[in-house]
Every structure is written in C-alpha cells, then in structure tokens.
Amino acid sequence: MGTQPGHAAPTTQNGRVRDAVTAARRVVVKIGSSSLTTATGGLADERVDALVDTLGRLATEGREVVLVSSGAIAAGLAPLGLTRRPRDLATQQAAASVGQGLLIGRYAAAFARHGLTVGQVLLTVDDVTRRAHYRNAYRTLRKLLDLHAVPIVNENDTVATEEIRFGDNDRLAALVAALVHADLLVLLSDVDALWTGDPTRPHATRITEVRDEKDLAGITIGGAGRSGVGTGGMVTKVEAARIATGFGIPVVLTAADLAAPALAGEPVGTLFHPQRQRPAARLFWLAHATSPRGRLHLDPGAVAAVVGRRKSLLPAGITAVDGTFTAGDPVDLVDTAGAPVARGLVNYDAVELPGLLGRSTSELAAALGPAYEREVVHRDDLVLL
C-alpha cells in the first residue's frame, strides 16, 4: 500500500493545502477490502485501528464522518476456512454473514476508544435506486449524524442478488456522498493515486488533480486490486469520482495509509474537482442512482426530439422494447446504434407498451380511451446521458 515503488511520496511542499478538503464539514470515506484485511482474508487489526484513529480525530473535532466500508466477505473467509474470495453468490453471502458481524464489532470497539458510537447501515441497490427507499436511507443516515454517531455503510451482501448488486462499494460511496450532501468524498485503496499508467513502471506519473475529462485523456486505467480479496479497481474509482463531482462534491483518491494527510488537506493522492453547480437532486438520482429495468429503442426523429429539443417521448417514436418493467420504473432510451442517450421513468409496463409502438397519442386515445393520450416518458422525468 501507499507510495508506489520508484516514486517519492508527495508532501505539502509540493503544493498548498487543499482548501476544499480542510473546509469540508461532512465527509464520506470509503475503504476497500484489500486495505482492511490480511493476505489470508482476516481483518488486519492495525489497519482498522489506524483508519479509526484518523476518522475518530475528525469526528471529535466536530466534523461529521460517514464510513463506507468493504470487507464483510473478506473478513468471513478465514473463519470459514476459505483461502480465496468465492466465485459463487451463495458462498459469498455465507462469508458476508460471518464477516459483517466481525467487521462491525471491530469498528465499534475501535471507535469506542474515541468515545464514539457507530451505527451499521446495510444497503442494497434497491435502497438507493427506488426513490422511496432512497428517502428512507437518507433519513436514517441524517438521524445518525444528528445523534453524533458514525454511520458505517456497506452493501448488504447477504441478500443482494447477482443481478441487483453494486459489486463494489465505490459507486455506493459516491451515491451515499450525494445522499447526505457531503462536502467531500475520500476513496481509500491500496493505490496511492491515479497514475498515467501502471504505477510500478518508472515512466508513470501521478496525476495530482483532475478538473475535467480532458485531464483523463490518454490514461491507462487498470482493473481490480492486487490482493485478490476485493472487487473494485481504478475504473470503478474514477467512475465514482465522476458521479460525486457531478453532484458538486470534491473527491480525493489515495491509499489507506495516506488517509491522515489526505484529510488534513495535504496534496497527496489525486483531487477530482467538482462541477460548479449541483444538479437537481431528482435528476441526479435518475442519472446515477437508478439501474435501468429495460430499454426503449428510438427512431432518429425521436432521438432528435428528446436529445435536441428536450421533448417528451411518445409511442410513435419507439421502434422496439427490451426488458421487464412496470410503470414508474427507470428505462434507458437508446438510439439506432443501441447507445443510451437518456434515462427516464416509463409510464407503461413492458407488457402493454409494445402494442402502442408507432402510433400517435391521438390515435391511441380515440381507440383505447383518454388514459392513453399520455407520453411514454414525460420530459420532466427524463435526464440525458
């Protein structure tokens, strides 16, 4: 972990303290499995203690801290006699059921030394993709912070299905940061920053700041971590940074053993600058927190109307329907090449909609009644991708 071979560790002498970090009052910190566990899969006590000491100091200084922690499956491997992360879902869920208790118990004991109470919040994709659940999750997290507890968030691996799961906690951390309107997201892993290439190679250089997509041009981003106990890689971390910065939240990506200097505002790791304006929460939720339940294929005229003129989607412009969904579910709108151009909440279910394709709303209303003189997706329920 930490500084890569052949590269010097950055210090405050390489740049001024990051004001966006030191000014943050509500901070979401995500740590991955490989940063918490031993090579055999057990919890590494010294790593947990080091992280909690850093976060405990923040909390006792009056800053609000939300910890998004992987590690339940990894922590359950050794007690079950497993040497590697299992591939099948049932064994992963069994490991999570053992490991989650070990993980939260270890955190509770460590934070208690700082006089802090923790609250466990286990989320599934449904909890952040269905708006009613999303609001419930917000209320729980908000109340824990109001009570000066430290929420510890993880995916509920024991009930998540293969089809409906985050798969890594980077996206979950970005969505939680947006959910609680955090001032800062810190992504901790076993890599100390975003690099222009493989950080073990001498030609690679650390990227200190990312202000827009142009700063990512020409970068080779690797896959999963080195330890074999996690699921996330640099690709998922960059995507999480895109989500959070799109909501106006700055992001620091660095190694777990650099958490203290990173949270002190020192120029370690990579700082992703936020977009200037936060989007409407509802549109952000639709674009990033939802998982499409189906796809509507649009003809060129419908693409031009939806994308170019921000119009509602009508049945006449749809050529085909994929997926299983009900009215109110999110669906992707795709162009003739199959590329998603927008996401929206559909007003018909997947059984009824195919019989309406290619017909005008006035024709449908005359044949089937006034209830059918409505859009398939209203423009207020649409966000461009």
The separation between CA 119 and the C-alpha centre of its own chain, rounded to angstroms, equals 20
Q: Are residues 268 and 298 in the same domain?
A: no
pLDDT at 158 over 60: yes
pLDDT for 174 equals 93
- Residue 252 phi/psi, 5° resolution? -115, 130
Q: Are residues 73 and 161 in the same domain?
A: yes
Q: Are residues 99 and 156 in the same domain?
A: yes
Q: Are residues 264 and 331 in the same domain?
A: no
Q: Is 57 exposed, middle or buried (0-12, 13-18, 19+ CB in 10 A)?
A: middle
pLDDT classification of 265: cutoffs 50, 70, 90: very high
Residues 161, 181: Cα–Cα separation, whole Å: 28
- Residue 207 phi/psi, 5° resolution? -95, 115
- 8 is a domain residue: no
HSE (side-chain half, CA atoms, 13 Å) at 364: 20
3-state secondary structure of 204: coil
* Pairing, β 150-155 against β 64-69: parallel
Whole-number Cα distances in Å, 331 to 81, 149, 294, 371, 374: 42, 37, 5, 21, 17
- 4 is a domain residue: no
pLDDT at 246 over 50: yes
Q: Are residues 200 and 101 in the same domain?
A: yes
Q: Are residues 320 and 281 in the same domain?
A: no
Q: Are residues 213 and 325 in the same domain?
A: no
pLDDT for 344 equals 93
pLDDT at 3 over 60: no
Q: What is the CATH number of the domain that holds 350?
A: 2.30.130.10
pLDDT at 227 over 60: no
Tally of domains within the chain:
2
HSE (side-chain half, CA atoms, 13 Å) at 126: 7
pLDDT for 31 equals 95
Q: Are residues 262 and 380 in the same domain?
A: no
Structural domain of 365: 291-384
User: Two tokens at 86?
Assistant: 């299992």
Contact 7, 249 (CB under 8 A): no
Q: Are residues 166 and 262 in the same domain?
A: yes
Q: Are residues 269 and 353 in the same domain?
A: no
In this structure, of 198-202, 208-212, 302-306, 334-338, the range with the lowest mean pLDDT score is 198-202
User: Two tokens at 220?
Assistant: 């080779």
Last residue within a domain, chosen from 285, 310, 327: 285
Mean pLDDT taken over the chain: 86
Q: Is 145 exposed, middle or buried (0-12, 13-18, 19+ CB in 10 A)?
A: middle
Q: What is the CATH number of the domain that holds 209?
A: 3.40.1160.10
Residues 199, 204: Cα–Cα separation, whole Å: 6
As a whole number, mean pLDDT of residues 117-142 equals 84
- Between 207 and 218, the more confident residue is 207
pLDDT in tens, 312-341: 999 999 999 999 999 988 999 999 999 999
- 75 is a domain residue: yes
